[in-house]
């Protein structure tokens, strides 16, 4: 199995509340590796690196690290190349993905 994690909200921007961190911990995410501190008075809430959280869950599920690819782009600060609810609110577009099995 291989896994590719698409662009998404990055740890650089994805601020969350304690309830999100609790939910991630409950799902088995190693929050000590995926939760980043807030950036001070203007952005005091902790941030989550969702791609690292997904990476950890994939490893725990047995997917070899060499077969996991993480997109580097953050959809919030990535320059508008991607839709972002956090950046643009409810009126922005949505992203979608496609998963398939290659025939032989």
35 versus 74: smaller Cβ distance to Zn ion: 74
- How far is it, in rounded angstroms, from Cα 66 to Cα 16? 29
Q: Which of 12, 27, 61, 95 binds Zn ion (CB under 5 A)?
A: 12
Q: Does 10 bind Zn ion (CB under 5 A)?
A: yes
Does residue 71 belong to the site contacting Zn ion (CB under 5 A)? no
Strands 35-36 and 47-48: antiparallel
CB of 63 to Zn ion, least distance (A): 25
Rounded Cα distance between 5 and 50, Å, is: 10
Say how far apart CA 103 and CA 39 lie, in whole Å.
47
Among 20, 68, 71, 77, binds Zn ion (CB under 5 A): 77
């Amino acid at each position: 199995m291989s896994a590719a994690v698409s662009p998404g909200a990055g740890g650089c921007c994805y601020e969350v509340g304690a309830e999100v961190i609790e939910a991630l911990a409950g799902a088995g995410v190693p929050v000590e590796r995926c939760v980043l501190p807030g950036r001070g008075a203007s952005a005091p809430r902790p941030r989550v690196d969702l791609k690292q959280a997904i990476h950890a869950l994939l490893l725990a599920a047995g997917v070899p690290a060499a077969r996991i690819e993480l997109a580097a782009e953050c959809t919030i600060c990535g320059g508008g190349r991607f839709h972002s609810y956090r950046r643009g609110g409810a009126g922005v577009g949505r992203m979608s993905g496609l998963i398939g099995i290659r025939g032989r």
